[in-house]
Structure 1
Amino acid sequence: MLDILVYLYESFRMVALTPDRDALEKRLFAAGFEEADINAALDWYTNLAGSATHERLALAYDRHYAPEELDRLNEACRAELAYLGSAEILDPESREWVISGLMELGGEDIEPDHVRWMTLIVLWSRGLIEHFTHLEDMLLNHEPERLH
């Protein structure tokens, strides 16, 4: 799923340029992605793009993880999420979408790099990125000593 979302992010630098679902499905299938993966990724993306803001989440800075989240998100991933929140890159609602997307990744091991990519995708999808290049550089060329 993440490969498909990254493909969308890299192909359509502005959400407004993203074609309708039928056109996306054809394009993704032509790019070699499997139909089931395409449907899962586009379903999740559609829910994200069409979601309303939840006022209660604006105050939810502390995050307690469910047992299944603890099983999938190792300590390094949780530390990355905490850092992104403390650096005010992720607001609580965006953080929940990042976690939701990570939990949808299936059987693959989730690494901090997945957290960073999912963060970019969520912020892009929600229209919260103003300067892609700076955020991409900061998140994808992550050097812990440089960020603190």
Structure 2
Amino acid sequence: MFEVLVFVYENYWRGDACPEPEQLSRKLSAHGFEADEIRAALQWLDDLSAAMQGLPLERGIDASEVTIGRRASADSVRAPSPDAMRIYSAAEQDHLGAECLGFIHFLEAAGVLSGALREIVIERAMATSEQPMALDELKIILLMVHWSSGIEPDALVLDELCDGREGRIAH
């Protein structure tokens, strides 16, 4: 599934430039992806799109007033306030692992990942079968969340998400 997501990201730089699911499925099939991979990726992208509905993308909007996902108002999940502390469930800790949780925390501390986007990243990561999730796969999810939101990460963040750690020299 992740190979399909990377292909979509690389070929449709903006989420709104992506073709409709049927046409995208045909294009992916023509590029040699397996039907099961395509189906899983399209379902994952559809669920990502649903999660992104109502996300405050403009500055100045109070994120705590916006619900995330398809849930009804009675049991809706509110976007966290900026000073909230996120406590990860045991299932989230097992699924994401220490390396991915540390990377999410790093992005939050750097001011790159808002609480609302973090929740979507976690929800989309939990929707995968990888356990514990590899950091490279989490980075793909982060790229896809930014891609879907229309928010282009700055160059340093994009470099961190796209570049491997191999060959880096610590200063």
TM-score (normalised: structure 2): 0.72
Pairing of 1:1-148 with structure 2 (within 5 A): 1-50=1-50, 51-53=53-55, 54-55=66-67, 56-59=78-81, 61-107=84-130, 109-129=132-152, 133-141=155-163
> Are residues 137 and 27 of structure 1, via their aligned partners in 2, closer, same or farther at CA, if it must alter by over 3 Å?
same
> Are residues 91 and 145 of structure 1, via their aligned partners in 2, closer, same or farther at CA, if it must alter by over 3 Å?
farther
> Are residues 130 and 115 of structure 1, via their aligned partners in 2, closer, same or farther at CA, if it must alter by over 3 Å?
closer
Q: 1 CA distance for matches of 2:124 and 2:33?
A: 18
8 Å Cα contact 2:95/2:131 also seen in 1: no
Q: 1 CA distance for matches of 2:85 and 2:39?
A: 32
Cα root mean square deviation, aligned: 2.4
The amino acid of 1:92's aligned partner reads G
Count of matched residue pairs: 145
Deviation of 1:30 after TM superposition, in Å, equals 1.9
SS of equivalent to 1:62: coil
The amino acid of 1:22's aligned partner reads E
Q: 1 CA distance for matches of 2:18 and 2:130?
A: 28
8 Å Cα contact 1:48/1:126 also seen in 2: no
Q: % of aligned pairs identical? A: 28
Q: 1 CA distance for matches of 2:153 and 2:135?
A: 23
SS of equivalent to 1:27: helix
Q: Greater helix share, 1 or 2?
A: 1
Deviation of 1:107 after TM superposition, in Å, equals 3.6
Greater shift, 57-66 or 19-28, is seen at 57-66
> Are residues 130 and 84 of structure 1, via their aligned partners in 2, closer, same or farther at CA, if it must alter by over 3 Å?
closer
Q: Which has the larger radius of gyration?
A: 2
Q: 1 CA distance for matches of 2:169 and 2:113?
A: 17
> Are residues 145 and 139 of structure 1, via their aligned partners in 2, closer, same or farther at CA, if it must alter by over 3 Å?
farther
TM-score (normalised: structure 1): 0.82
Q: 1 CA distance for matches of 2:170 and 2:86?
A: 24
Unmatched segments (≥5 aa) in structure 1: none
> Are residues 20 and 48 of structure 1, via their aligned partners in 2, closer, same or farther at CA, if it must alter by over 3 Å?
same
